[in-house]
Amino acid sequence: KAGVTQTPRYLIKTRGQQVTLSCSPISGHRSVSWYQQTPGQGLQFLFEYFSETQRNKGNFPGRFSGRQFSNSRSEMNVSTLELGDSALYLCASSPGTANQPQHFGDGTRLSIL
């Protein structure tokens, strides 16, 4: 089985721009979660999508949004980028039933100049 695929791997943007990150889950997985990882804050949960619906949401501002398509692929969008948004954004998929392990992609490294 192919693993979780995230694109792009690296991205450089400037303040005020917006960005869209993509995540293709493992085949058959219906849940996709997004995390932000920074050295200072660790792994912070952004949101989880299941069957095209946002099922859980973390404590991030409205500039962070996401969506999931019928094939379970997910996108995350960040608008009006700030310097503090520089981070590794990780996507994880799971079958979607309770207490299943998360399978992570390699992440997108976003740098804001």
Partner 1 sequence: GQQVMQIPQYQHVQEGEDFTTYCNSSTTLSNIQWYKQRPGGHPVFLIQLVKSGEVKKQKRLTFQFGEAKKNSSLHITATQTTDVGTYFCAGRPGGGNKLTFGTGTQLKVEL
Give 75 or 106: the residue with its C-beta nearer to partner 1.
106
Shortest gap between Cβ of 60 and partner 1 (angstroms)? 12
Distances (CA, A) of 34 to 22, 76, 79, 89, 113: 10, 8, 16, 7, 23
Amino acid at 82: E
Shortest gap between Cβ of 7 and partner 1 (angstroms)? 14
Q: Are 74 and 5 in contact (CB under 8 A)?
A: no
Give 87 or 92: the residue with its C-beta nearer to partner 1.
92
Give 16 or 61: the residue with its C-beta nearer to partner 1.
61
Distance of CA 7 to the CA centre of its chain: 10
Query: Residues interacting with partner 1, by CB under 8 A?
Result: 33, 35, 42-45, 48, 55-56, 58, 90, 92, 99, 101-107
Give 70 or 99: the residue with its C-beta nearer to partner 1.
99
How far is residue 6's CA from residue 4's CA, in Å, rounded to a whole number? 7
